[in-house]
Chain A
Amino acid sequence: MRTLVGDERILMKHGAGGRAMRRLIEEVLTEGLAAGGRPGDRGLKAMDDGAALRVGDQWLVITTDSHVVHPLFFPGGDIGRLAISGTVNDLSMMGATEVLGLTCAIVIEEGFARADLVRVQQSMRATAHEAGAAIVTGDTKVMGRGELDGLVLNTTGVALTDRVVSDAALQPGDVLIVTGTIGDHGFAVMAARHGLALDGALQSDVAPLNDMIRRVLRAGGEGVVAMKDPTRGGVASSMHEMASKAQLSIVIDETAVPVTEQARAASELLGIDPLHVANEGKAVIGVRAAAADAVLQALHAHPLGRRAAIVGRCVEGRPSVVLDTGVGRRLLMEPEGEPLPRIC
């Protein structure tokens, strides 16, 4: 085997949510860390949004997430709102919508403006309130100038639930719903980061989804069989992971995928597929066909789910994601790394 280009160092693609990241985690981290654990618990090996530990007749769901974003404040949100929403959403995707508590660890770069830290704190507080969650403990460190980019937030969340929804339980015949327009967060951050002049405001969708998911679970019951929040890697990555874990093929009807006009303009301009772009306030929900209407109705009645739509269905076949573009059909590729704009 030849020396792989870039193989000896971690590259940005290893954090981009796609195949490279999953391979790194599987090969280096899960491999070494997954030993032990109690039988029956759902831990690292499941590669799900969080772990589910049996406590009495319930499941304790726990998840952790570190947040870095540049810029720290972007249209529609900021790192504080992101840190709370990300963890609440990971819990929710496992069916655990009743958050017992959150932790927050903050690493701050020397020289960081106190006023900005206050803004982040206020945003975290407001978002936690929105999610009905409380931050119950935390930790603060300061590092030297240049040793990190401004601010890193880590949040951990715990919640109890009677039923864990995994991301692996799809069956042929199930339908896939996205809970609203896709790509908004990623495009808003890209536009802010690179100073793209686009008319029409791109707004991040960052939001805690536990209330919406609570209603989905109430409406769909056992018919809700799989959930993922399509963050880094976008809807494409989520679909690939679900198809691979359930060993089936997913067919997406591209014309049914909701995208705002602003995000579509950004997508056309940059040559980046919205299906590959990060969301921070959306879920991909797999439901039995019989439950689809009830779930859609519940979503449409919720402010965060108004533009929810059925975008795909599961069929038998080798694990794959097929995109029906309306004018043709192709496989939908999983992003290799951070989406990069094309030349022309």
Chain B
Amino acid sequence: MTPATGTRINDDLTRPLLLTSWRFYLLVAFFGAFVAAGLAAWFSQIFFGIGIAGIRWPVYWGFYVTNFVFWIGISHAGTLISAILRLVDAGWRRPVTRCAEVITVFALMIGALFPIIHLGRPWLAFWLFPYPSERLIWPNFRSPLVWDFFAINTYLTGSILFLLLPMIPDFAVVRDRSTGLRHRIYRLLALGWRGTPKQWHRLETAMQIMAIAILPVAVSVHTIVSFDFSMAPVPMWQSTIFGPYFVAGAIFSGIAALIIAMAALRRFLQLEEYLRPIHFDNLGKLLLMMALIWGYFVFNERLVTYYGNEPAEMTVFWRTQRQSFAPLHWTMIACNFLVPLVLMGIRRFRTIGGCVVASFAVIVGMWLERFLIIVPSLGAKYLPYSFGIYRPQPVEIIITAATFAAMGLLYVLFAKVIPIISIWELKAGEHTPSAAARALDEERLGKVRP
């Protein structure tokens, strides 16, 4: 298969920006309806009081904190693909980096909404920001929630910049191909980009620095989110494994989200030549590896708890594995471990379709995992007289569904205004020494599975 020429790459990747079909409007309307319902639900929660949600004594965290941890976890997709693969110069990353970075930015924005949604007095959320107030009081830097605030904001800023920087040359391409108002907007966005060697060097150096800086930030973000749990003496929360466990789970769910996004883009934007089976094959192998790592962490945590045989912890342990939460727990194990192991481990099943099925299973499984970390422990804390059962209410379910729709909506809108594959990186990748080796790989894979 001959590589696409410069002009054809430009054509294929700017076409979604310049041509709009009825499918776009349908998708926007569909997702937009759910998002509107979610906003209405949130406002009604503020108006009537947070009591319309299902949280209760003593299960004070439920769907909202589950969603928070889930979406922050999804946001680790971009970092892994972009930063790590950029640093090891893996050529196959090139069509994939922007799709992944976009997931990161939007998942972070959605995830960062939930600490506000779940507050009892969300209009005072700005007190988490360190500013000199007339009350002479600052945020409590010993609180994991304040660490969350700093970590998520740093990661969000870094991710947005990591996404924006390589877009500048692509804005220049769209600038040159459009007229009128569109031309003026993209000219503004492209800043002073012309394409001199100095500009390319500076851009690549900045990307290098950011890739190195954003990796530890990403690891720290989900570790700090795990500290929201491990800093409290709740049975089965006070586990030292939570940091690495959460980071591994985040990368796991992030890769699954990326596979789904890429498969959708490939179908809807006719990008079959750019998002090739080799990409899904590689990501599928990564998904398999993360499934094994996830299983390893879960096994570790459970075995140590079991041997510890501490009464409070064993109450939660059995509650999750044998009693009221057992159906959810075993669904989670099947979705997160068995399905990816079978579908991604057997080469026959590692097709694009197989990857998408496994990814959907992982998304469901990881959401359940967050839920099962939070709710069974809180409902069975030490004193049996104060155990409780959490029942989610419509407002929580609507808001949860709305966030998935918001992700879809933001993604669709983004793909409409900005090339979803980095044009200059794709072209640059054709000319590196590793490109020849990559072409050979794809030929080989092409023969096995067209």
* A joins B in a complex: no
CB within 8 Å of B: which residues of A?
none
